[in-house]
């Protein structure tokens, strides 16, 4: 991935004269920006050789003039240029007028003592534009979008290495299950684990389960597993823990229903020969969610899943129509779901 390659070069203090960093994953953008600031300049140089521009208020020609001016008390200048909407297919209307010819001329022969970084928090830029093609020739264009599953594993292991800890594979899966693709949350969780195990320590599955900040979405997976394993004690323990976090039964029921719906849908599509990615496209969910569903669908028959969906629908109606106390209705639902396997095999 371009992000990883760029980050490695920056940390080795190997800089390109121009960067275009774009995308909607703010954590990755901040990570690259922070790495550039820390590695391109010493702390003493920040006041004199670090410039930050908002291109909604400052014309690009002013930036280029600054870039071509020699740095003070150092070997390099770093210019962070935010909101460069002229890279979009349809640029935003701004108060200033950008003379892009000036930028194009600069890119033909950029100076070796300045690093210009364009930070574009947009989903896409128009890579057909001549100016972006020029940047690719002399610098780097780095997309910062959500990681794919295999990239998430690499990123998490990379962070663990940076924090000087070891991360077992089962623990890594817990990180992804609990946090999805929220990179900031995963980073915070890793830092917490690092403090717990200490430098050189290992984060095991048990440590991850003990310390992880739980979210209802991940707990819905655990409820599914408890149902699959016919473990009512485990199911009730998870529910009571969520109840302490002020999670409403109706909301938990909806989460549980969405998980079982995805498991059932994944099972049926798998039977028709669909791949994991094809199922994800059909269900309009992330591939990782389908991977988890496919792991669980093997624990249920079509008949069991059909009956589970029926119980979920009935419990939802009972709560919404006020026929039963919501807490009692959810606890009874858990008992019914746990007993589905027994009733279908009888």
The CATH number of the domain holding residue 36 is 3.40.50.300
DSSP 8-class letter at 92: P
Q: What is the CATH number of the domain that holds 193?
A: 1.10.8.60
Nearest to 22 by CA among 92, 127, 152: 127
What is the sign, positive or negative, of the torsion defined by CA atoms of 12, 13, 19, 24? positive
- The helix/strand/coil state of 297 is helix
Beta strands in the chain (DSSP E): 18-22, 50-54, 77-82, 114-120, 140-143, 166-167, 202-203
Q: Are residues 179 and 283 in the same domain?
A: no
Q: Which domain holds residue 158?
A: 149-211
Which string of b and e fits 43-54 if b means at least 16 CB within 10 Å?
A: eebeeebebebe
How far is 47 from 51, CA to CA, in rounded Å? 8
Q: Domain check: are 180 and 234 in the same one?
A: no
Inter-residue contact 321 to 288 (CB < 8 Å) = no
Query: 224 and 204, same structural domain?
Result: no
Residues 38 and 153 in one domain: no
Asked if 138 and 205 sit in the same domain, the reply is no
Instruction: Please give the tally of structural domains in the chain.
Output: 3
Paired with 140 in beta bridges are 19
Order across the sheet with 50-54: list the strands: 50-54, 77-82, 114-120, 18-22, 140-143
CATH of the domain at 340: 1.20.272.10
SS (H, E, C) 141-174: EEECCCCCHHHHHHHHHHHHHHCCCEECHHHHHH
pLDDT (tens, 9 = 90+) of the chain, 346 residues, equals: 688 889 889 999 999 999 999 998 888 899 899 999 999 999 888 889 999 999 999 999 999 999 999 988 888 999 999 999 999 989 888 888 999 999 999 999 999 999 999 999 998 999 899 999 999 999 999 999 877 766 778 888 888 888 899 988 888 877 777 766 667 778 888 888 899 989 999 999 888 877 776 655 566 777 777 887 788 888 888 788 777 777 788 888 888 888 899 999 999 999 999 998 899 888 888 777 788 889 889 988 999 999 999 999 999 999 888 888 988 988 898 888 888 866 665 5
Rounded to whole angstroms, the Cα distance separating 106 from 149 reads 39
205 and 254 both lie in a single domain: no
Q: Which residues contact 210 (CB under 8 A, 6 or more apart)?
A: none
Instruction: Tell which of 195, 211, 227 closes a domain.
Output: 211
Q: Which of the listed residues 97, 113, 143 is the one where a domain comes to its end?
A: 143
- Residue 19 token pair: 């960067």
Residues 334 and 283 in one domain: yes
End-to-end C-alpha distance for the chain, whole angstroms: 52
Query: Is residue 121 within 8 Å of residue 26, measured between CB atoms?
Result: yes
What gap in Å lies between CA 45 and CA 296, rounded to an integer?
A: 55
96 and 65 within one domain: yes
b vs e for 149-187, b when ≥16 Cβ sit within 10 Å of the residue's Cβ? eeebbebbeebbeebebebeeebbbbbbbbbbbbbebbb
Do residue 245 and residue 338 come from a single domain? yes
Query: Within this chain, do residues 134 and 173 fall inside the same structural domain, yes or no?
Result: no
Q: What angle do CA 87, 93, 95 make, to 5 degrees?
A: 110
pTM score of the predicted model: 0.62
Tokens matching residue 26: 């703010």
**One domain, residues 255 and 164:** no
Residue 4: which of 143, 191, 116 has the closest Cα? 143
Do 336 and 250 belong together in one domain?
A: yes
Among the three residues 143, 166, 184, which one is the final residue of a domain in this structure?
143
């Amino acid at each position: 991935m371009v992000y990883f390659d760029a980050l490695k070069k920056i940390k080795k203090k190997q800089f390109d004269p121009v960067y275009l960093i774009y995308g909607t994953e703010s954590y990755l953008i901040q990570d690259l920006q922070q790495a550039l600031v820390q590695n391109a300049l010493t702390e003493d140089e920040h006041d004199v050789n670090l410039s930050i521009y908002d291109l909604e208020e400052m014309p690009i020609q002013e930036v280029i003039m600054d870039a071509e001016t020699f740095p003070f008390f150092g070997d390099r200048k770093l210019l962070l240029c935010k909101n460069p909407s002229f890279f979009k297919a349809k640029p935003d209307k701004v108060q200033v007028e950008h003379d892009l010819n000036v930028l194009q001329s600069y890119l033909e022969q950029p100076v070796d003592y300045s690093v210009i970084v364009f930070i574009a928090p947009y989903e896409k830029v128009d890579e057909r534009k001549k100016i972006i093609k020029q940047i690719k020739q002399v610098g780097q264009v780095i997309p910062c979008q959500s990681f794919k599953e295999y990239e998430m594993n690499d990123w998490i292991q990379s962070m663990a290495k940076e924090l000087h800890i070891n991360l077992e594979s089962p623990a890594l899966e817990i990180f992804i299950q609990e946090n999805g693709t929220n990179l900031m949350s995963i980073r915070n969780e890793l830092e917490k684990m690092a403090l717990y195990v200490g430098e050189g320590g290992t984060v095991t599955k048990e440590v991850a389960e003990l310390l992880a900040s739980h979210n209802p979405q991940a707990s819905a997976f655990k409820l599914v597993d408890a149902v699959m394993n016919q473990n009512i004690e485990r199911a009730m323990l998870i529910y009571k823990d969520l109840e302490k976090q002020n999670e409403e039964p109706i909301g938990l029921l909806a989460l549980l229903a969405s998980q079982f719906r995805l498991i059932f849908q994944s099972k049926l599509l798998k039977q028709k020969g669909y791949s994991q990615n094809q199922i994800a496209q059909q269900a309009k969910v992330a591939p990782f969610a389908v991977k988890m569903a496919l792991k669980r669908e093997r624990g249920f028959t079509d008949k069991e899943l059909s009956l589970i969906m029926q119980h979920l629908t009935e419990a939802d109606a009972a709560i919404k129509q006020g026929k039963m106390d919501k807490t009692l209705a959810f606890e009874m639902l858990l008992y019914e779901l746990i007993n589905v396997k027994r009733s279908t095999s009888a």
